[in-house]
A and B are shown apart, each in its own frame.
Chain A
Amino acid sequence: MGRRKHMTPAPPGWMTRFLRWYCKKDLVDGIEGDLHELYLRRVAKYGKVRSNLLYFLNILLFFQPFAFKKRNQNRRLNTIDMFRSYLTISIRSLIKSKSISAINIIGLAIGISSFIVMSAYVFSELSFDKFHSKADRIVRTVYSYEARGATTGVARVVFPLKYRLLENYPEVEQVVRFHEDNNDAITLEHQDKLFTEKKIFFTDPEVFDVFDFPFLAGDPQNALTSKNSIVMTEEAAKRYFGNENPIGKTILFKNDDQLLVTGILKKSTHSQMDFDFLVPLELQRQRWLKENRFNDLEKNWQWSGAWTYVLLKSAEQKVSFDERLHEDGSDFFGRISEPTVDYHYTSQWLLDVHLKSNMAAEIGVNGTTSQVYGFAIIAFLILIIACLNFINLTTAQSTNRAKEIGLRKVMGAHRINLIWQFITESILVTILSTVLSLLLIELMIPIFNSFMDQNIAVPYFRLPILMLLFFLGAIVVGGLAGSYPSFYLSKLKPVKTLKGDSHGGGGNSNLRKTFVIGQFIISNALIVGIVVVKLQMDLIKGKNLGFDKQQTIVLEHGSKMQDEFQLFKSRLSEIPSVVGVHQGYVAGTPGWVQSFRVEGEDLEATKSIGVNHVGYDFLDFFGLELVSGRFFSREFSTDSTEAILINEAAVRALGWTNESALGKTFSTRRWKTKVIGVMRDANFESLYKPIKPCVFKLNFFGDVAVKFDSNNSEQLLSSVGAVEDAWMELFPQWPFEFAFLDQQIEDQYLKEERLGQMVQFFALLAIFIACMGLFGLATFTVKKRTKEIGVRKVLGAGIWSIVSAIMKGFLILVLISFAISAPAGYYISENWLQGFAYRIELNLWIFILSGLVSTLVAAMAILSQSLHAARMNPVVTLKYE
C-alpha cells in the first residue's frame, strides 16, 4: 500500500513538455497544476487511458494566443536597428572595394538578363500553336516513302484524302486543308493599292471550327463559305484599307476575281501557319479548272499539295487513327493496284510540328528541338557561371574581413549577427544586379527580336507573380551565395584573426579553385563551340554550289508567261547587257517536291526521283557542266517529250556509270523517256542535305530568270530598268517585281546564320563573365600577397618572375579545365556536325586553338593585376607592421 501511494499516476511527460514549450512562463505553473489536479480526478473516475487523452485534449485547447510565449518582444526593435546597421555596413563595404563590387553586380546582371532573354525565346518557341483550344486533338497527316535506302518525309498529302478521312474514319471529327501556291505569285488590289502577296493560304471553310485564330471582326462561322471571300490579318488590312473598316469591301484577286472581305484576324505570331490572308480553296480549284492548267484538285490523287489537319474526336484515338491510315495508305488508298514504293502514312500532333517535324514541304519555317534545348542549356550555363562567379568573389572578398569579424566578436557579436551581416551584403548585391538586369533586358529584347526576327517579350506586367519570382530568385541566390562565407567566417576564432593570421584557410581556397575550374570548363567548351560553328558556317557560305548565281534576277510574276515568253525573250535580247533569259526551274531555289516514279528497265523497284522542269538554256544560263551525252536541243523535236537528263547522284543511286546511263529508258504512267545526258552534280537545294538524285525534263513553263553582264552596280541597275520597260509594255497588268538570285539563296541560310551568331554572342558573354570573375580573383589574390611580393622584391626578384609566380597559379587552373572540357566540346560538336551533309572535320588544332584563346584571355585578365603588383614599391608594401 505504501508503495502505491508513492506511485501517484502522472500524465505522460511529453504532453506536459509540449505545454511547457508553448506556454507563457507566468501562466504555465497555474495551468499545469490545474490540469494535473483534473487529471488525478479523472484517473480515479475513467482510468488512465481516457484521462491521458482528455489531458492532451486540454493541452491542445490551451494552445491559443493568450497562452503563447511572446518571443523576442523586446528584441524586435533591435532587429530593425540591427538590420539598418547591416545595411549601412554592407553599403560601406561595397563602396570600399568598388571594382570588385562592380564586377560582381555587372557580372550577375549580365548573367541574369541573358538567362531571362534566352528563356523568353525558349518559352516562345515552346508555345507555338498552344493557343488553339482543341490543339490536343489536332493532328497533321503526313507520309514518307523509301527511295534507295533513304526515307523522304512529306508534310503534305493529296487533296481528296479529306473526304476519305471524313467518310471512312470514325475517329475523325473534322478535316481542314491548307494550300499555298508557290509556283505563281498572287497579286491583290484595292483601288490604287496593288501588292504582290506571299503569305496567302487557301483553306477550307471549316478552318475556324478547328483552329482558334483570333477574330477582330467578322463571323468565323460563315467567313469562308462563299468562294469569293477573304479573311485577312489586321496588318494586311491596313495596307489596303488604311483606317477604314475593311469588312464588306472588295479586293481584286489576280486581276480578275473580286473577293469580299469577311473577317479580320489578329496576327498569330506563334503559329506554324504564318499567313496574312485566308482564301477558300474552292476559289483556287475553280480558277484552275477555268485555266485548264491542272486537273480538278478535288479528284487529283497524284499531287500531294495539301497540308491536312485532322480534328480527332478524342486524343486517345490517334493510335487507332494512325493504324488505320497506315494500312489504308500502304496501297495509296486503293489508287495503285501493285504498289512498288512503300508509302507510310501517319499523323503527327499539331503541337509537335513546329519543333519536331523536319519534312519536305513544311508549312512554315520550323524550329528544331536541338536549337531550343541548345539555347536553354547555354542560358543555364550563363546563369551558373554568373552565380559561381558571384559566390567566388563574395567568398574571396570576405576573407579580407577576418579582422573585422574578430573585432565584432570581441565586442560581443553573436554568430547569428555575423551570418546576417554577410547574407545582407550578398542579398543587397543580388537585388542591385536584378534591378540592373531589368534594364538590360529592356535593352536586349528589341535587339534580339529584330535580329532574330522573333516576337518575344517578358510579360512582367501581365504576370506580377513573375516579378515576384524574379526578386525571390535573386534573394535565394544571394542568400545561398552569402551563406557559405557567412557560416565559414563566423566560425573564425577572434584570437587567431586579431593576431594577424587572417589567411582564408586551405579548404576555402580549394573551393574557389574548383569554381574557377568549373567556370572555365564551361567557357572552354563554349569557345570550342564558337570556333566549330564559325568554321562550319564559313564552309557552307564558301561552298561552291556548282552553278552560277551572280548577276541574276528572278521575276516574281514570270511564271504567268506561257507563249509570251518567246516574245519577252526576244525583246530582252535587244538589251546589250542581258546575256541570258531562261524559263523553268531556277537553280538554288527549292525544287519541285512532287516526286515522279521513274522506272528503270533493269530495276525491279521503281524509284522516286525529283524532277526539275527546265528550258533549252538551262545549262548555259546557270553555268552547269555536262558529264556525258548532250543537253536538250531544238534540233531534236522529240526532246520535249522523250528525253531526260539525270545528274551524277542519280547515276550513282541507280548503280550505273556516266556512260552506261545514256540511252536507258525511264517510264512513268505519262511518258516514256530516254536518258540523253548526265549532268555534273550541283547543289540546288540546302547545303545541309546531300545532293539528291534528280531528273531534268524539258518544259516551257516556270519561273523566269534574267542574267546580266554588268561591270558595276549602276550599269546593272539601268539594265534592270530596261527589263522593267519591256515588262511593262508586254504585261502591264502585272507588277514588275524581282529578287537577286544570290540574295535569295543566301536568305535560305539566314535563320541558321543568325541563330549561330546569337549563340556566339551569348557564349562570348559567358566567357566575358568568367573572365571578369578571374580578374576579380586576381585582384584579390594580388592584394593578399602584397607583403609576399614586397619581400620577394627586396630579396631581388624581377618583375617578370613575380608576374609569372602569380599567373602560374591561375593558368594551371585554366589548363586543368581545358583538359576536362576538350572531350566534352568534341562530343557536342561532333553531334551537331552530324546534321550537315557538308561538314568540317574536327581537327586537334581546333581544340588547341580554343585552348590557346581561353588561356590567352585568362592571362590578359590576370596580367594587368599581377603587373600592378609586381611594380609596387616594396617600401610601401612592407611599411605596415
Chain B
Amino acid sequence: MKGTYLGEFEELVLLTVGILHDDAYGLAITDELESRTKRNVTISSVHKALVRLENKGYLKSHVGGASKERGGRAKKLYLLTNSGKNALKESRSLRNHMWNDVPKIVWEGGNI
C-alpha cells in the first residue's frame, strides 16, 4: 500500500464524503467544501484527491445514476471504507491529545 499519510486537504475531502454520505460525488464534494471553508476549490483538485484516497484504500466508489443535467453521464459516488473511518478517527484523536497537552496558561495568558 502507498503511504497512509493524510494531508490536510485530503482529510477535508474525506470528512466531506462522510458528511454527504450517499450522495458524495465530485461536484457535490466541491460545493460542500467551498461553502464550508469559504475558499476556492477547483474541481480537478478534488477529483485528484479522490483518486488518491481511493488508491490509499480510504474510499471506495460505485457508479451512480445518470441524469440529463449531467449530459447523460453517470455519477461516481464515493463511500468511506473502514480504514478511511479509522484514519479520520486517528487524526482526530491525535489532535485531541495534542490539545490536551497544551498548558492552560497558553490559552489564558493573553497576548504578551
A residues whose Cβ falls under 8 Å from a Cβ of B:
8, 10, 27, 29-38, 40, 58, 61-62, 64, 66-67
B48 surroundings in chain A (CB, below 8 A): 64, 66-67
Judged by DSSP, the binding face of B is helix
Supposing A8-B68, A40-B69 touch, asked if A33 and B75 sit within 8 A by C-beta, the answer is: yes
Any chain A CB within 8 A of the CB of B21?
no
Q: Which residue of B lies closest to A36 (CB)?
A: B71
B42 surroundings in chain A (CB, below 8 A): 58, 61
Q: State whether B69 touches A36 (Cβ < 8 A).
A: yes
Q: State whether A30 touches B75 (Cβ < 8 A).
A: yes
- A–B complex contacts, Cβ < 8 Å, 22 sampled: A27-B47, A27-B76, A29-B63, A29-B73, A30-B25, A31-B47, A32-B73, A33-B71, A34-B27, A34-B30, A36-B73, A37-B27, A37-B70, A38-B27, A58-B42, A58-B43, A62-B44, A62-B47, A64-B48, A66-B48, A67-B47, A67-B48
Size category of the B interface is 20 to 34
Q: Mark B47-69, 1 if CB is under 8 A from A, else 0.
A: 11001100000000001001011
B69 surroundings in chain A (CB, below 8 A): 8, 36-37, 40
Q: State whether B44 touches A30 (Cβ < 8 A).
A: no
Any chain A CB within 8 A of the CB of B84?
no
A30 surroundings in chain B (CB, below 8 A): 25-26, 47, 73-76
Give chain A nearest CB distance to B30 CB in angstroms.
Answer: 8
CA distance A36 to B69 in the complex (A): 7
Q: List 5 tightest A-B contacts by C-beta distance, closest first.
A: A30-B76, A33-B73, A33-B70, A36-B71, A61-B44
CA distance A40 to B73 in the complex (A): 14
Give chain A nearest CB distance to B35 CB in angstroms.
Answer: 14
Judged by DSSP, the binding face of A is helix
Q: State whether A34 touches B26 (Cβ < 8 A).
A: yes
A8 surroundings in chain B (CB, below 8 A): 68-69
CA distance A490 to B96 in the complex (A): 70
Q: State whether A10 touches B25 (Cβ < 8 A).
A: no
B74 surroundings in chain A (CB, below 8 A): 29-30, 33
19 extra interface residue pairs, beta carbon distance < 8 Å, beyond A30-B73, A34-B30: A8-B69, A27-B47, A29-B63, A30-B25, A30-B76, A31-B47, A32-B73, A33-B25, A33-B70, A33-B74, A33-B75, A34-B25, A35-B43, A36-B70, A37-B69, A40-B69, A58-B42, A61-B43, A66-B51
Q: Mark B66-88, 1 if CB is under 8 A from A, else 0.
A: 10111101111000000000000
Contact of A58 among B44, B66, B70 (CB under 8 A): B44
Q: State whether B44 touches A64 (Cβ < 8 A).
A: yes
Most central of A8, A30, A35, A62 by chain B CB within 10 Å: A30
CA distance A38 to B51 in the complex (A): 20
Supposing A33-B66, A36-B70, A61-B42 touch, asked if A66 and B76 sit within 8 A by C-beta, the answer is: no
CA distance A32 to B66 in the complex (A): 11
Q: Which residue of B lies closest to A39 (CB)?
A: B71
B52 surroundings in chain A (CB, below 8 A): 66
Q: Which residue of B lies closest to A10 (CB)?
A: B71
Q: Which residue of B lies closest to A5 (CB)?
A: B68
CA distance A61 to B40 in the complex (A): 14
Give chain A nearest CB distance to B7 CB in angstroms.
Answer: 14
A34 surroundings in chain B (CB, below 8 A): 25-27, 30, 43, 47, 70, 75
CA distance A751 to B3 in the complex (A): 75
B76 surroundings in chain A (CB, below 8 A): 27, 29-30, 33
Give chain B nearest CB distance to A11 CB in angstroms.
Answer: 8
B71 surroundings in chain A (CB, below 8 A): 10, 32-33, 36
CA distance A32 to B69 in the complex (A): 11
B63 surroundings in chain A (CB, below 8 A): 29
A35 surroundings in chain B (CB, below 8 A): 43
Give chain B nearest CB distance to A59 CB in angstroms.
Answer: 9
CA distance A27 to B48 in the complex (A): 10
A40 surroundings in chain B (CB, below 8 A): 69
